[in-house]
Amino acid sequence: MTVQVRPFTEEDRPWAIELMRERWGSEVVIIRGKARDASLLEGFVAEIEGEPAGLTAYETRGAESELVTLDSLQEGAGVGSTLVAAVANAAWRQECRRLLVVTTNDNVRALGFYQRRGFVLTALRKGAVDKSRRIKPEIPELGYDDIPIRDELELSLDLRAGR
């Protein structure tokens, strides 16, 4: 079972919007108090045997690229790792110095996932999710394992290391 990755295209948009609404409540994602329509960003689709197995959306600004969404439909198959590597490679080719990702305080699985792939914690924004709820009220109060969702945690991957 090999994971293939290809660029996200306009033809993928209806499927991506449906997935984002299912996983994130909508295609609008709030990070650092800024709303972004993740379905309009660049991204990659992972496929296994020709079937969609994951999706990522990212945004590049100057010397930084930010992983905005990451969804694996087949956990443990390497989908998430392959998508992160695709974004990191695209960012590196665009001469970005680092790849950022923001998650919430309840998402301990994501924190472990990113740190195992070389990301390091770079910021804690206390109360950021409470502010984000003013823009996107459907953000739940409780997250994984009934942990209150309050804070944003930023992680960064140095794209210059080992290149």
Residue 18 clears pLDDT 70, i.e. is over it: yes
What's the rounded mean pLDDT across residues 143-154?
A: 94
Residues 111-137: what's their mean pLDDT? 94
Burial of 72 (0-12, 13-18, 19+ CB in 10 A): buried
Largest CA distance in the chain: 43
Number of H helices and E strands in the chain, helices first, is: 4, 9
pLDDT at 8 over 90: yes
Cα–Cα distance measured from residue 39 to residue 119, given in angstroms and rounded to the nearest whole number = 25
End-to-end CA distance of the chain: 28
**Global pTM?**
0.91
What residues does each domain of the chain span? 3-158
DSSP β-bridge partners for residue 66: 59, 100
Reference 57, options 41, 34, 71, 45; nearest CA is 41
Topology of the domain comprising 3-158: Aminopeptidase (3.40.630)
pLDDT at 16 over 90: yes
pLDDT given for residue 72 in this prediction: 94
Tell me the two tokens of residue 57.
């959306």
Q: Which is it for strands 3-7 and 28-31: parallel, antiparallel or unpaired?
A: unpaired
**Tokens 């296994």 -> residue:** 48
